[in-house]
């Protein structure tokens, strides 16, 4: 099912513990709204004639939004609601109430794969069987991550590791797969891409035969769709469907209660790019039997009629409870207000007590209340300041308190020893810290000071993360502002110098063996530092390229400002990522336009400048301008991406008929790994093939196939098999071509690559022509052109022209073949590549002597007469 149809189908159809406890005990309205929301969703589901999971046209009533300014206590409120829900369930002896918590500001939290697996881990507490989601995930994983173990991915992220291990997620999914394909667990364990293929094909074939989850609407479409994030974003529907089945099987009268807490939502709906929000919104819409509790600074606009275009599901029909006119029906949107004076006084009275009596005098409490105006974070900091004054033996007075939030933050810094003041300034520079990162930022601070600082109450802690400590975002901003007025405050230069040290530590943490999850998280932290403090480190350009080469480009830089902030290098990295995104989604011309002027202002020859240039060259090549691309590759030789540039220059020599030059360079090149070596072997095979030395070409491709199979590189093996078909076709070996084509297409089910499908179809056309089946050959030529047009692959028409000319020569259509040859000549000259095909087809039409006179000259391996003589024999074999 095509991507657009898939989208249409789903859019239609049927602080301290005391502080937290005291403050939010008093938030009666918010707690009551949450309780009513849980009950209201249950009533909605029970009263529906058709489950909203199945009837996707029903308006959604599963979102409770709590929004308000920074520091108002939304995160603590969210935690308290979760605590109360679970405590209540435990008191009732219920084991069917589960929660999932995601802080969207955390590194990697907005990655769709990780988000869905965290949801699945939470739901796994209700039982181990989630067949629709687990089988679809196994099929997706086999194709999207051939050779990569799912368990390795689950273990790479601290938060996901903790969630998945608590319920044995990997084994739960594996058990579901065993029931369908006992021998095909490679799709999860990553032992071999062939086992992964077996998993996918076993699921797909049973679906096609109607023997697997036939009652789950759109399950088949999701299995057949491309294994990409667009498809994955609809998988929450399968989780919701499985949850519905559990509800129907429940022996009790109560359906399971599932709440998902999405915190710091402003990182998604607070910027211009709403790509990630769109994917998360799909998740919320497609799981109407789950209550989503969203906390953030902004009201969500999903029910507004003006939100269409950026998001899929918008308007009051989709979200009747979220419209601004609804002020009664839960769940709905709530502005989290400041604490009342009486609530604030209750908090201050009970935060610090001696013999049951308040330690804070009433006049101090009044001064704090007047200054804080009910802001919980302000009260927290004031309590900390009171404790610090007591610890120094003083008697706090009202004059020591009050003032603006920045003034309170200033006092908080002053209360700290000098070393800890530098540590809090360091912590305010970035979103998460740990002991090692703090030591890197302040190498002269003692370990004891670091340990004492990390015990301060204004730091939150979550050991699920490699950097487990964080300052509240509002406090981070206030500290940076407050620091400017302190006698020993940092200058902008001081902050930049510390940010540079933090960046260096993050880069060192990566090393050469870091997995892609760690690389992505560290890079995101580095880019945030770069955006906020105008610093940059070359490792970020290298890490970006590493993730792009691994195919992890879709979420890079999401939510980060791309213009008018940071250094030119920072903006260039984000532009390079956007260029990759455009190129990989079929918009090569737009990628060229974006990247063409990005390098201005960058240090010449810097890794970032070279990153931009390498992707500009790739975009130009995809757009069919081989000549300009080669100029850029040539300039990059000897630089950061030397190996990549040299390879593509060899490819350029090959495309322009400089076969001996290309072959000599390829033999001298050293590969960076099995992927590089496979590309080198395939290009050597191309050179032998277009010189009509088919045995040598077969040998090169066979070596590439063996290497790819041994290393578990399904995409590389599919390419080499397609090339093998392109070689066997010239001998008219229909069976050999069919065998290679079938094996390649099987692998392309795992790792879709439409360019290779064009090549396979053109090889079938040639094989039919040489074998004398003109009708099948003509049909295959038409199929080649349709496939090429469908993906904008201009080179596909060159292959179709060659096959069409061969059909005409063998059938005696002399006028037709000359007309097609003229089109082929004009097209290859315009693109600056593949011009060698013209003398090859000329050897069929007019003979070898005329073919050798072709200009531009071709550097044939064995000389023009010998090489073209072999090609001429192709047209005489029938």
User: pLDDT tens-digit profile of 109-147?
Assistant: 788 888 999 999 999 999 989 999 999 998 888 877 776
Q: What is the pLDDT of residue 309?
A: 67
Say whether pTM exceeds 0.75. no
Q: What is the pLDDT of residues 784-841, one digit of tens each?
A: 999 988 877 788 999 999 999 999 999 988 889 999 999 999 999 988 889 999 999 9
β-strand pairing of 459-461 with 469-471: antiparallel
Q: What is the pLDDT of residue 210?
A: 81
pLDDT at 183 > cutoff 80: no
Residue partners of 832: CB distance under 8 A and separation at least 6: 625, 626, 627, 630, 655, 656
CA 134, CA 107: separation in Å to the nearest integer? 25
Q: What is the pLDDT of residues 845-858, one digit of tens each?
A: 999 999 998 888 89
pLDDT at 5 > cutoff 60: no
Q: What is the pLDDT of residue 681?
A: 95
* Residue ranges of domains in the chain: 29-96+256-337, 112-249, 341-498, 499-631, 656-874
Question: Contact at 8 Å (CB) between 802 and 824?
Answer: yes
Question: Contact at 8 Å (CB) between 636 and 654?
Answer: no
Percent of the chain with pLDDT over 90: 43
Q: What is the arithmetic mean of pLDDT over 530-557?
A: 82
Nearest 5 degrees, angle CA 431-CA 436-CA 437? 30
Q: What is the pLDDT of residue 98?
A: 95
User: What is residue 215's three-state secondary structure?
Assistant: coil
Structure letter (DSSP) for residue 257: E
CA 642, CA 653: separation in Å to the nearest integer? 16
CATH class of segment(s) 29-96+256-337: alpha beta
The pLDDT confidence band at residue 559, using thresholds 50, 70 and 90, is low
pLDDT at 187 > cutoff 50: no
| pLDDT greater at residue 536 or residue 351 | 536
Q: What is the arithmetic mean of pLDDT over 697-705?
A: 96
Q: What is the pLDDT of residues 78-89, one digit of tens each?
A: 999 999 999 999
CA 159, CA 634: separation in Å to the nearest integer? 44
Question: How many CB atoms within 10 Å of residue 305?
Answer: 11
Question: Contact at 8 Å (CB) between 720 and 684?
Answer: no
CA 644, CA 636: separation in Å to the nearest integer? 9
Q: What is the pLDDT of residues 448-476, one digit of tens each?
A: 999 988 988 778 787 767 788 888 777 78
Same fold, 29-96+256-337 and 656-874: no
Question: Contact at 8 Å (CB) between 293 and 78?
Answer: yes
Percent of the chain with pLDDT over 70: 90
Give 736-750 as a 3 state SS string.
HHHHHHHHHHHHHHH
CA-closest candidate to residue 508, choices 431, 572, 439, 605:
439
Question: Contact at 8 Å (CB) between 115 and 282?
Answer: no
- CATH number of the domain at 656-874, please? 1.25.40.10
Q: What is the pLDDT of residues 329-373, one digit of tens each?
A: 999 988 887 677 877 888 788 878 888 788 889 998 998 888 877
Q: What is the pLDDT of residue 308?
A: 61
Structure tokens at 835: 């011009």
Torsion 643-645-647-653 (CA) sign: negative
> Number of C-alpha atoms within 13 angstroms, CB side, residue 632?
24
Structure tokens at 298: 């902004």
Q: What is the pLDDT of residue 467?
A: 82
Q: Which of 90-94, 310-314, 779-783, 860-864 has the lowest mean pLDDT?
A: 310-314
């Amino acid at each position: 099912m095509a991507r657009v149809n898939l989208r249409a189908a789903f859019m239609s159809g049927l602080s301290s513990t005391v502080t937290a406890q005291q403050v939010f005990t008093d938030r009666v309205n918010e707690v009551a709204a949450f309780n009513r929301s849980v009950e209201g969703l249950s009533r909605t589901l029970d009263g529906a004639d058709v489950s909203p999971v199945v009837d996707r046209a029903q308006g959604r009533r599963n979102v409770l939004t709590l929004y308000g300014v920074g520091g108002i206590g939304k995160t603590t409120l969210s935690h308290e609601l979760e605590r109360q829900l679970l405590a209540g369930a435990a008191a009732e002896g219920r084991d069917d109430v589960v929660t999932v918590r995601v802080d969207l500001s955390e590194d990697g939290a907005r990655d769709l794969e990780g988000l869905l697996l965290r949801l699945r881990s939470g739901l796994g507490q209700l039982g181990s069987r989630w067949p629709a989601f687990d089988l679809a995930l196994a099929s997706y994983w086999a194709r999207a991550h051939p050779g990569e173990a799912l368990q390795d991915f689950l273990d790479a992220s601290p938060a996901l590791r903790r969630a998945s291990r608590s319920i044995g997620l990997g084994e739960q999914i594996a058990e579901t797969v065993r029931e369908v394909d006992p021998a095909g667990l490679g799709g999860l364990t990553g032992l071999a891409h062939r086992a992964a293929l077996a998993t996918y094909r076993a699921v797909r074939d049973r679906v096609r035969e109607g023997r697997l989850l036939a009652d789950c609407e759109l399950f088949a479409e999701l299995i057949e769709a491309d294994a990409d994030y667009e498809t994955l974003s609809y998988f929450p529907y399968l989780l919701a469907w499985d949850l519905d089945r559990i509800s129907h099987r429940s022996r009790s009268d109560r359906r399971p209660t599932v709440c998902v807490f999405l915190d710091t939502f402003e990182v998604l709906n607070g910027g211009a790019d709403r790509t990630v929000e769109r994917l998360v919104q799909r998740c919320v819409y497609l799981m109407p039997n789950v209550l989503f509790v969203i906390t953030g600074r902004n009201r969500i606009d999903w029910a507004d009629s003006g939100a269409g275009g950026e998001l899929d599901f918008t308007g009051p029909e989709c979200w009747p409870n979220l419209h601004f006119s609804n002020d009664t029906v839960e769940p709905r949107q709530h502005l989290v207000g400041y604490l009342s004076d009486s609530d604030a006084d209750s908090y201050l009275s009970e935060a610090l007590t001696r013999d049951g009596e308040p330690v804070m005098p009433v006049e101090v409490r009044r001064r704090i209340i007047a200054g804080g105006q009910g802001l919980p974070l302000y009260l927290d900091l004031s309590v900390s300041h009171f404790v610090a004054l007591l610890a120094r033996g003083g008697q706090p007075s009202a004059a020591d308190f009050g003032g603006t939030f920045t003034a309170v933050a200033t006092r908080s810094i002053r209360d700290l020893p000098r070393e800890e003041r530098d540590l809090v300034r360091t912590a305010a520079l970035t979103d998460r810290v740990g002991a090692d990162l703090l030591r890197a930022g302040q190498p002269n601070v003692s370990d004891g000071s670091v340990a004492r600082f990390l015990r301060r109450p204004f730091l939150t802690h979550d050991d699920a993360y490699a950097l487990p400590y964080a300052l509240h975002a509002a406090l981070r901003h206030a500290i940076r502002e407050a620091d400017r007025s302190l006698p020993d405050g940092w200058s902008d230069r001081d902050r930049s110098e510390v940010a540079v040290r933090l960046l260096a530590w993050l880069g060192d943490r990566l090393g050469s063996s870091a997995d892609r999850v760690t690389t992505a998280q560290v890079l995101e932290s580095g880019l945030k530092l770069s955006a906020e403090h105008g610093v940059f480190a070359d490792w970020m350009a290298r890490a970006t390229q590493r993730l792009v080469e691994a195919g992890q480009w879709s979420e890079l830089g999401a939510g980060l400002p791309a213009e008018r902030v940071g250094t030119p290098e920072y903006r260039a990295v984000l532009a390079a990522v956007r260029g990759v995104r455009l190129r990989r989604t079929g918009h090569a011309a737009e990628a060229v336009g974006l990247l063409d002027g990005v390098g201005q202002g960058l240090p010449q020859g810097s890794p970032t400048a070279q990153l931009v240039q390498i992707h500009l060259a790739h975009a130009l090549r995809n757009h069919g301008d081989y000549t300009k691309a080669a100029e850029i590759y040539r300039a990059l030789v000897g630089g950061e991406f030397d190996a990549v540039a040299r390879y593509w220059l060899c490819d350029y020599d090959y495309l322009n008929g400089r076969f001996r030059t290309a072959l000599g360079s390829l033999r001298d090149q050293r590969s960076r790994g099995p992927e590089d070596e496979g590309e080198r072997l395939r290009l050597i095979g191309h050179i032998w093939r277009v010189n009509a030395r088919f045995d040598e070409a077969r040998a090169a491709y066979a070596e590439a196939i063996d290497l790819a199979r041994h290393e578990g590189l399904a995409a590389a093996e599919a390419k080499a098999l397609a090339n093998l078909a392109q070689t066997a076709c010239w001998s008219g070996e229909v069976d050999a071509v069919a065998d290679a084509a079938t094996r390649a297409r099987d692998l392309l089910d795992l790792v879709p690559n439409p360019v290779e499908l064009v090549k396979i179809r053109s090889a079938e056309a040639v094989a039919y022509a040489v074998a004398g089946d003109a009708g099948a050959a003509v049909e295959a030529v038409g199929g080649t052109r349709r496939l090429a047009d469908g993906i904008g692959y201009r080179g596909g028409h060159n292959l179709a022209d060659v096959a069409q000319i061969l059909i005409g020569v063998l059938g005696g259509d002399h006028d037709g073949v000359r007309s097609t040859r003229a089109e082929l000549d004009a097209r290859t000259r315009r693109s600056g590549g593949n011009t060698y095909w013209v003398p090859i087809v000329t050897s069929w039409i007019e003979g070898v002597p005329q073919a050798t006179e072709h200009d531009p000259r071709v550097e044939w391996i064995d000389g023009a007469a010998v090489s073209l003589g072999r090609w001429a024999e192709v047209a005489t074999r029938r």
